[in-house]
Amino acid sequence: MKINVLAENLNKAVGMASRMVSGKTQLPVLNNLLIRAKKTGLEICGTDLEISLLVEVGAKVEEEGEVLVPAKILAELVSTLPNGVVDLSLEKQTLLLSSGGVRAEISGLSADEFPTIPRFSGKGIKFDIDKFRKKMSQILVAVAKENSRPVLEGIGWYLDKNNLELAATDGYRLSADIFKLKEINVSVPSEIVVPARAISELLRATTEEDKDLLIEIDKEKQQIIFKFQGVEITSRLINGEFPPFKQIIPSDWLTRLIVSKEELLAAVKRAAVFARGNANIVLWEIGQDKFTVSASSTEIGKNVSEIATEMEGEDLKVAFNGRYLIDYLMSVESDKVVFESAGELKPGVFKVEGESLIHIIMPIRQSD
């Protein structure tokens, strides 16, 4: 192996691949990154067997070769290198690195010990990354962080030739959206559950400069591959069926209001300060002449904010978990949000006019 690569490109690639290395694995080989020099350039890969990330780096390759090196050591080293060209070479299983006045030797392992990472085949569903990032960021809000049902730690994908329908729920809230597709020219499964962590890593790895995202799904092998700008993220799918979420989406409402997102978010944040001592309960009182957001605690005190709103239908008094309200409102880019409800114990529906995202938060029963 003999390579010349820019330090900033090497640092970025190593940093991305290193995020797949948990450090808690029972397989020591997974604490390493695969460094592979090919005629086409340099490849760096990290995996925890659940999710893998491979980065292609532009480099001048004089001699091909591959080696495993400890991820933590390599990441810490390259992050300190000055800008400029880094020379990498291999002697037996030792990676030699030089850059300006810096010289380093890192003991490595044979690349044969690294697990085989599936690669993108060249065919997949094409997405606009900006639109994909926006929809996925909003869907992730409702994913369960820890749950005895693994499917709730993922996002349900429902595919046909025209649409990708998405859903996530933790049992207390639900986000659902539809992504319009051009006709799919590859065979894809109709229903899968994609780990939320894989989507989070994808969002973290992509930038505004990235344009197109290709996705390949293989349900038989239970895997999904995301490819963009020289990066491939491979993840196992979650076994199991996603809950029938459409059953809880209300078809009508008795109370409807349109309110400023920023005013509502500020009011809920204020209320949340006082709700901490009372299970995060934030109370909404919606009437024909006013809309108030309040919270109280015997230890802290109370707070009430009145907000201007456009309201239709019946008066309503309903309570929500303030943290759930903040999570949703923080994910919304629109100036206004729409709220609909069929009663104080019915699901609260949140949406933006003209957009397909539906977010539902289950209310909290209030004692008299």
The pLDDT of residue 124: 83
Mean pLDDT over 225-244 rounds to: 95
- Is the pLDDT confidence value at 298 over 90? no
Mean of the per-residue pLDDT values for the chain? 94
Beta bridge partners, 260, equal: 336
Residue 61 makes CB contacts below 8 A (sequence gap 6+) with 2, 3, 37, 38, 39, 40, 41, 42
Q: Within its chain, how far is the Cα of 201 from the centroid? A: 6
Lowest-confidence segment of 84-98, 112-126, 172-186, 309-323 by average pLDDT: 172-186
Superfamily of domain 249-361: DNA Polymerase III, subunit A, domain 2 (3.10.150.10)
What would the pLDDT profile of 4-63 be if each residue is shown by its tens digit? Answer: 999 999 999 999 999 999 877 789 999 999 999 999 999 999 999 999 999 999 999 999
Question: Dihedrals φ, ψ of 8, to 5°?
Answer: -65, -35
Dihedrals phi, psi of 247, to nearest 5 degrees: -65, -25
Beta-bridged to residue 259, according to DSSP, are: 309, 337
The confidence score (pLDDT) of residue 183 equals: 62
Superfamily (CATH) of domain 2-113: DNA Polymerase III, subunit A, domain 2 (3.10.150.10)
- What pLDDT sits at residue 368? 59
φ and ψ at residue 134, rounded to 5 degrees: -65, -50
Domain with CATH 3.10.150.10 in the chain: 2-113, 125-246, 249-361
Rounded (5°) CA angle 150-28-39: 95
Cα separation of 366 and 216, whole Å? 47
pLDDT digits over 80-136, tens only?
A: 999 999 999 999 999 999 998 999 999 999 999 999 999 998 888 888 899 999 999
In the CATH scheme, what architecture does the domain 125-246 have? Roll (3.10)
- What pTM does this model have? 0.92
